[in-house]
Amino acid sequence: MNQFTKLAVITATSAGKFLKKKITTARILSQKANRFDVVTDADLQTQKLITELIFKEFPLHKILGEESESHEKLNDEFTWIIDPIDGTGAFSTGLPTYASSIALFKDKKPISAAVFLAINNTVVYAEKGKGCFVKGKKIQVREVANLNEASVGFDPYYEYREKAFALFGKSLGGKLFMTPMIWSQAAGLGLIAMGILDGYVIFGKPKIWDIAAGILLVEEAGGVINDFTGNPLSLSHIESYVASGKTIHRKLLSSIRGE
């Protein structure tokens, strides 16, 4: 792996170790848009840890983080996009479905990424054009042919919940093998890359740090991620999306669109 991916892995690993110690003692400091969207002291402490590790190696790089006081804009320069705790709502209740997400962008595209998955205590990482890995072993998405074989994660944003549950229930609810809620996009996308989930559906308007690392993990593991119209995600205006292996992707999109 190159120096950037190596740092992403080291950083995600360090963040994961710290968060495992903090999960039982973290304090909620504030609430954002709703009661599930909170900030804990662990969010701020983990972002500080990640930022210090990155700047120690690359002091001229930019950092765009969820908990940053001032957000850098994504441009063609080297920019690290981090989410110290993706799934803080779950983390704050002691539910280990959160993740810590680190991605490096150049020319507005991800080139290295690493995600710590609390659910299985694993760091999944990827390098553009090289593949997706766990502990040095190359991994791939799981390909299933039929919806009734597929385990598809499903997470709606709070303000989309009512509409999302109705649409998902009507279009896919009775067709799938399993439909777990993950509560973390970085975790959901990491689980697809590992071949544990077959798909993942998000209803809402994600922020770039929610998916920055996960996009590269899924694509380098051989998967696909598109918005509901079937187009690649626009990182300047991210919409609801479907991520999955290639074999079942069209069936998931068609079902959601009612085709």
Binding-site positions = 66, 83, 85-86, 210
Residue 36 carries which side chain, given as an amino acid letter?
F
What is the C-alpha to C-alpha distance for residues 141 and 244, in angstroms, rounded to an integer? 8
Q: Pseudo-torsion of CA 10, 108, 204, 195, nearest 10°?
A: -50
Query: Using CB atoms within 10 A of its CB, is residue 28 exposed (0-12), middle (13-18) or buried (19+)?
Result: middle
Q: How many residues does the chain have?
A: 259
Q: Residue 191: left (phi > 0), alpha (psi -120 to 50), or beta? A: alpha
3-state secondary structure of 134: strand
Q: List residues forming the annotated binding site for Mg(2+).
A: 66, 83, 85-86, 210
Cβ 168 vs Cβ 195: under 8 Å? no
Query: Using CB atoms within 10 A of its CB, is residue 12 exposed (0-12), middle (13-18) or buried (19+)?
Result: buried
